[in-house]
Structure 1
Amino acid sequence: MPKRSFSDVEFKEGSNSGSCEMNEVMSSTITKDEEYDIAIVGGGMVGLALACRLSSMPLTKELSVAIIDSNPALKSRVHFKKDEVPHPRVSTLTPATISFFKEVGAWEYIEQHRHAYFDQMQVWDYSGLGYTRYHARDVGKEYLGCVVENMVLCDALLSCLQVLFFSYPVQPMGDSSRVASSGNTIEPTHNGSSVKLCLSNGKNLYAKLVVGADGAKSHVREMAGLKTTGWNYPQNAVICTVEHSVENHCAWQRFLPSGPIALLPIGDKFSNIVWTMTPEESSTHKSMTRDAFVEAVNYALDYGYSSHPQSSFLDEFVHRISSLSGYGTASMAEHFQVPLKVTDLVSERMTFPLSLRHALEYASKRVVLVGDAAHVVHPLAGQGVNLGFGDAAALSEVIDEGLRVGADIGELSLLKRYERERQAANLTMMAVLDGFQKAYLMDFAPLNFLRAVAFHGAQFITPLKRNIVSYAMGEQKWPLFT
């Protein structure tokens, strides 16, 4: 029977020797010098999703897997109360990601808790020159996505692992002492068949493959010598939970001079705000009174900066071209809608800086990166975690294919297949998001007109709208006309 264990440890670089070490917070079923097929460093959403997927496939479920993380939530499930206010940290899951969760058996747990499907989305900008409304029916679907609290996602994946992994006893916290391995990279064994991870209590864990799922500041990536490229945006994101007088069923996004603001349904009468702005503005908005913040949100989503987009000569022009070409969309007659008014701020306001980072390589021998350890994107369109879940799905498939032909799961040539597939997909999405982000930070009259043309084209031209929606839903590999 394969071993599947949780070791709640922190993976960090030693301060003196520059070596790889783990500061143990809790120990579980790992005993001294145990060997595993796969060690997943990072028990967040993507790391847990990978573990679920590996445990749900016929061949990979026979592998022994250890999850290494200091997250205390791994000890037990969270008990949610129906009347609790949703947490500000949420994820917008695409239909492709939802299918992944259903395949591994985790979606049934999400459906037991608060979540919000949405079948419509409206996007517009501060100029008042154009807007686009998307509807699931444009691509013959029931919904465009589903918004779920991150805590619910993690709990669902843990619940799934309790079934797939049978049990994972956790010992109480004990005294720890630091033990470092030699060198400044993850240490291979003498015969190269595995790598050694050193725990702070003197125990060693050996694995044929180490998966870095430990986030944007990945120690696994650093220790494996995998370089990154990217930049910091001159922006922060402010996130919070707000309330309406009625339930919201639409995702709203408006591009403002300092960045987009998104209003996402989260269930009941609650919505989630993701508001991108300068660091100075984020500090101001975080410290202002609750009533003032609510007023600022409604101003940004409704009448601020310009009037609502109205019918214009551009509408008539694009409508006529679309009709003559036979490419008119059934939803082209949908008019601009004013977003639901926010009535109250019901959670704390959280801020975090925005950046773009991408690993030049996702893999080295016996080490591979997934999720934010491999790529960090702008939160525009909420695609970041979906890219991570795509990594988990692709890596599990590559490992499964390797097992079918008797390959070593840590062999670089096998891991490079995963890298090629995911780098192409991730870089494309990153380029799209970065392009949108930069285009809307420029207030230039000709560019404003071109943006309006793009909005109207997406609103009235069926093939274009279908491609945009399908790509955003994760059901199309490339953004346009594939």
Structure 2
Amino acid sequence: MCLYPECKCIRLQDTDVQKTIYPSRLASMIRYPSSSVKADDNTREASYIKAGLVKLEMSDGSSLYTKLVVGADGAKSQVRNLAGFKTTGWNYSQNAIICTVEHSVGNHTAWQRFLPGGPIALLPIGDNFSNIVWTMSPKQASDLTVMNEDEFVKAVNQAMDNGYGPHPKSNFSNGSNKFSFLGGNLTMSTNESFEVPPKVVKLASKRAAFPLSLMHANDYVAKRIVLIGDAAHAVHPLAGQGVNLGFGDAFTLSRIIGEGVAVGTDIGEVSLLRKYEAERKPANIAMMAVLDGFQKIYSVDFGPLNVLRAAAFHAANYISPLKRGIISYASGEQRLPIFP
């Protein structure tokens, strides 16, 4: 793994994945607060278990011992469940269809469109391929999952481009004038054009559907255990912020652990891990509240509210300082003013 601080990038190689993803499922987890002796009746040998370790028993019968377990195993985290972390959340009564699609040309832009049934996102993954995340009702998701490939591809292209009104530029070409009352010194982003997303030509993977929900762990840390990413918080995918929250957790935890190691602190001590929780929990809760609010606002189809939503998006796009602030916050470069 390579870190590039100047561009805030992480480069992962196949060997990194092979080294960090254990090929067996976690079956149980035991923490040893003090030294003990464990006797094996079969071999009549005694093994000494050192103080301050966590024992991970795998489903294949093997065991691992470590000073710190990082639960980064997703929204259905086995680490979180075995450690007894409590969670808060609710279901959205929506499903998301995910799949990989191929375009006739390369795609290097992330696209999202808000539809009456839920948003659809087209996320580039290299060359002519993109991932689809399409939110809709469980019934619609079931129908689209079993739909034949040609019909599904047609539905995706229709959702991304046709049938839901013109692109923003065509009905807001003079949008900057509408916000002149906000002050003459504002820089407007009126020169930006809205391009048409590249057409999908075929499916490149199977389709899968899963229910959407909000979940937040009441605590992120315990003695020798810490949760990050979806194991600590799961959000609605409408803005693609789940991965950014996870990256923020990973960067913060690595920094906190590094600071602890530098002064000789046990990396499994709760007092050290609480620093990570104190920094990440407010930021995660704030973003979760924003995303949950977006989900609720866009789940209502009401004329006046639709107009207000459109006006808010146009304002965000045409007022450059506001647009830059939203991008900076969404990318994790800055926090809301209430969280220093």
Q: TM-score range by the shorter chain?
A: 0.7 to 0.9
Whether the 8 Å contact between 2:96 and 2:210 is mirrored in structure 1 is yes
Shift of the 204–333 alpha-carbon distance from structure 1 to 2, 3 Å rule, reads: closer
TM-score by length of 1: 0.60
Q: Secondary structure at the match of 2:249?
A: helix
- Give how far 1:479 is off: 8.1
How do residues 138-287 of structure 1 correspond to structure 2 at under 5 angstroms?
155=14, 157-158=16-17, 186-191=30-35, 193-199=52-58, 204-287=63-146
1:470 lines up with 2:333 in the alignment: no
Q: Secondary structure at the match of 2:67?
A: strand
Name the SS of the counterpart of 2:99 in structure 1: strand
**Share of identical aligned residues, percent?**
58
1:204 offset after TM fit, Å? Answer: 4.9
User: How far did 1:194 drift?
Assistant: 2.6
Q: Indicate how the Cα distance of structure 1 residues 267 and 187 shifts in structure 2: closer, same or farther if over 3 A, else same.
A: closer
In structure 2, the residue matched to 1:386 is 244
Q: Is the 8 A contact 2:96 2:133 kept in 1?
A: yes
Contact 1:468 1:479 (8 Å CA) reproduced: no
Paired residue total? 323
Separation in structure 1 between the aligned mates of residue 75 and residue 103 of structure 2, nearest angstrom: 34
C-alpha distance after superposition, 1:437-474 (max 9, x if no partner): 22111111221121112111111111100011112223
Any idea what the Cα deviations from partners look like across 1:60-108, whole Å, max 9, x if unmatched? xxxxxxxxxxxxxxxxxxxxxxxxxxxxxxxxxxx9896241xxxx35x
The residue that corresponds to 1:119 in the other structure is none
**Deviation (angstroms), 1:402:** 1.4
- Residue 300 of structure 2 corresponds to which residue in structure 1? 442
Matches within 5 A, 1:412-427: 412-427=270-285
Q: Secondary structure at the match of 1:327?
A: coil
1:42-62 residue CA offsets vs partner (Å, 9 max, x unmatched): xxxxxxxxxx58xx8xxxxxx
Higher relative contact order (CA 8 A, sep 6+): 1
- 2:224·2:269 contact (CA, 8 Å) conserved in 1? yes
Q: Within 5 A, what are the aligned runs for 1:35-434? A: 99-101=8-10, 106=11, 109=13, 155=14, 157-158=16-17, 186-191=30-35, 193-199=52-58, 204-309=63-168, 310-312=170-172, 315=175, 317-321=177-181, 324-329=183-188, 331-434=189-292
Question: Post-superposition shift, 1:190?
Answer: 3.0
> Could you tell me how far apart the structure 2 residues matched to 1:365 and 1:311 are?
57
Deviation at 1:328? Answer: 1.8
Identify if the C-alpha distance between structure 1 residues 480 and 456 changes in structure 2 by more than 3 Å, giving closer, same or farther: farther
CA contact (8 A) 1:243 1:271 kept: yes
Displacement of 1:428 in angstroms is 1.7
Give 1:270's aligned amino acid. Answer: F
For 1:229, give the aligned amino acid.
Answer: T
1:454 and 2:298 matched: no
* CA contact 2:31–2:52 (8 Å) conserved in 1: no
Q: Residue 341 of structure 1 aligns to which amino acid in structure 2?
A: K
For residues 270 and 102 of structure 2, the distance between their equivalents in structure 1, rounded to whole angstroms, comes to 50
CA shift, 1:196, in A, is: 3.1
Q: Is the 8 A contact 2:95 2:136 kept in 1?
A: yes
Match for 1:210: what amino acid?
V
Change (3 A) 1:379 1:217: same
User: Pairwise CA RMSD of aligned residues?
Assistant: 3.3
Which runs of 5 or more structure 2 residues have no equivalent in the other structure? 36-50
* Distance in 2 separating the partners of 1:311 and 1:463: 22
- Residue 265 and residue 222 in structure 1: after superposition, are their counterparts in 2 closer, same or farther (change >3 A)? closer
Quick one: which amino acid aligns to residue 318 of structure 1? K
